Structure 1
Amino acid sequence: MSVTSRQSDFRPDDNAAPMALAEARRRIVDSIRPVQETERVALPQALHRVLAEPVVAGVDVPSAANSSMDGYGYPAASVPQADARLAIIGQSLAGHPFEGHVGPGECVRITTGAVVPPGVDTVVMQENTRLEHDTLVLESPAAPGANIRLAGEDLSRGDVVLPAGSFIRPADIAVLASVGAAEVSVVRRPRVAFFSTGDELRPIDGPLAPGEIYDSNRYGLAAQLDSLGMTGVDLGAVGDTPEALADAFDRAADCDAVITSGGVSVGSADFVVDVLGEKGTIDFWRVAIKPGKPLAFGTVGGARFFGLPGNPVSTAVTFIQLVRPALVQLAGGVPAAPTRLTLPTTTALTKRPGREHFLRARMDFTSASPRVTAIDHQGSGVMRSMSRADAFIVLSADSADVPAGALVTVEPFAQPVWGLAAF
Structure 2
Amino acid sequence: MPPRPASVSARSVDDYRDSIEQLLRPLAARVVEYVAVPEASGRQLAEDTRSPIDLPVFRNSAMDGYAVRAESVVVAPVTLPLTGVVAAGAPGRTPLPRGAAVKVMTGAPLPPGADCVIPVEDADAHGDKVTIGRGRHAGEFVREPGTDVRRGELLVAACTTLAPRHIAALAAVGLARVPVFAAVRAAVITTGDELVAAGSALRRGQIYNSNGIALAAALAANGVTVVSVAHSTDDPARFRTLLSAATSAADVVFTSGGVSKGDFEVVKEVLEPLGGEFGSVAMQPGGPQGSTVVDGVPVLSFPGNPVSTMVSFEVLARPILRRLVGLPEVDSYELPLRTAVPRSPAGKRQFLRGKLIRAQSGEPTASTRHPTAVELVSGPGSHLVASMAWADALVDVPAEVSALPAGAIVRVWSL
* Shorter-normalised TM range: 0.7 to 0.9
SS in 2 for 1:295: strand
Native 8 Å contact 2:17 2:317 kept in 1: no
- Aligned position for 1:237: 232
Q: 1-side partners of 2:296 and 2:59: how far apart? A: 54
- After superposition, residues 174-189 of structure 1 pair within 5 angstroms as 174-189=168-183
SS in 1 for 2:288: coil
- Aligned position for 2:63: 69
Q: 1-side partners of 2:279 and 2:21: how far apart? A: 12
Q: 1-side partners of 2:166 and 2:27: how far apart? A: 25
- Aligned position for 1:387: 389
- Mind listing any 5+ residue stretches in structure 2 that lack a counterpart? none
- After superposition, residues 302-341 of structure 1 pair within 5 angstroms as 302-328=296-322, 333-341=325-333
The reply on whether 1:28 has 2:21 as its aligned counterpart is yes
The reply on whether 1:360 has 2:353 as its aligned counterpart is yes
Distance 1:75 1:23, change over 3 A: farther
Cα deviations by residue, 1:94-141 (Å, 9 ceiling, x for unpaired) = 112432333554333222111223233332322233346544444344
SS in 2 for 1:88: strand
Q: How much does 1:28 deviate?
A: 0.9
Distance 1:253 1:23, change over 3 A: closer
Q: How much does 1:229 deviate?
A: 4.9
SS in 1 for 2:317: helix
Cα deviations by residue, 1:38-82 (Å, 9 ceiling, x for unpaired) = 444433333333444444432222211222222223333444355
**Which of 266, 288, 308 is the matching residue for 1:294?**
288
SS in 1 for 2:96: coil
Cα deviations by residue, 1:266-320 (Å, 9 ceiling, x for unpaired) = 44544534643421454x8554443323333342212112111212112112223
The reply on whether 1:276 has 2:271 as its aligned counterpart is yes
Task: Give % identity.
Answer: 34
Q: 2-side partners of 1:26 and 1:154: how far apart? A: 45
Counterpart of 2:163, as a letter, is R
- Aligned position for 1:18: 11
Structure 1 stretch displaced more, 143-152 or 346-355 = 346-355
- After superposition, residues 105-144 of structure 1 pair within 5 angstroms as 105-131=99-125, 134-142=128-136, 144=138
SS in 1 for 2:258: coil
- Aligned position for 1:263: 258
Q: 2-side partners of 1:322 and 1:49: how far apart? A: 23
Cα deviations by residue, 1:174-216 (Å, 9 ceiling, x for unpaired) = 3222222223344444442221223333343433343332222
Q: Which has the higher contact order (CA 8 A, sep 6+)?
A: 1
Counterpart of 2:286, as a letter, is G
Native 8 Å contact 1:295 1:307 kept in 2: yes
Q: 2-side partners of 1:342 and 1:127: how far apart? A: 53
Distance 1:242 1:118, change over 3 A: same
Q: 2-side partners of 1:323 and 1:303: how far apart? A: 15
Cα deviations by residue, 1:330-350 (Å, 9 ceiling, x for unpaired) = 6xx324211234655443344
Q: 2-side partners of 1:341 and 1:106: how far apart? A: 63
Structure 1 stretch displaced more, 301-310 or 382-391 = 382-391
Counterpart of 1:337, as a letter, is E
Counterpart of 2:295, as a letter, is G
Q: 2-side partners of 1:397 and 1:149: how far apart? A: 60
Q: What TM-score results when the alignment is normalised by the length of structure 2? A: 0.80
Native 8 Å contact 2:284 2:349 kept in 1: yes
Q: What TM-score results when the alignment is normalised by the length of structure 1? A: 0.79
Count of aligned residue pairs for this structure pair: 402
- After superposition, residues 130-209 of structure 1 pair within 5 angstroms as 130-131=124-125, 134-142=128-136, 144-209=138-203
- Aligned position for 1:412: 414
Native 8 Å contact 2:219 2:225 kept in 1: yes
SS in 1 for 2:27: coil
Distance 1:266 1:112, change over 3 A: same
Native 8 Å contact 2:283 2:350 kept in 1: yes
Q: How much does 1:367 deviate?
A: 2.7
Native 8 Å contact 1:65 1:149 kept in 2: yes
Distance 1:349 1:226, change over 3 A: same
Aligned-pair Cα RMSD in Å: 3.6
Cα deviations by residue, 1:16-46 (Å, 9 ceiling, x for unpaired) = 3423348725851672333634444433333
Q: 2-side partners of 1:192 and 1:246: how far apart? A: 17
Q: How much does 1:261 deviate?
A: 0.7
Q: 2-side partners of 1:269 and 1:209: how far apart? A: 20
Native 8 Å contact 1:201 1:213 kept in 2: yes
Distance 1:401 1:200, change over 3 A: same
Q: 2-side partners of 1:143 and 1:71: how far apart? A: 15
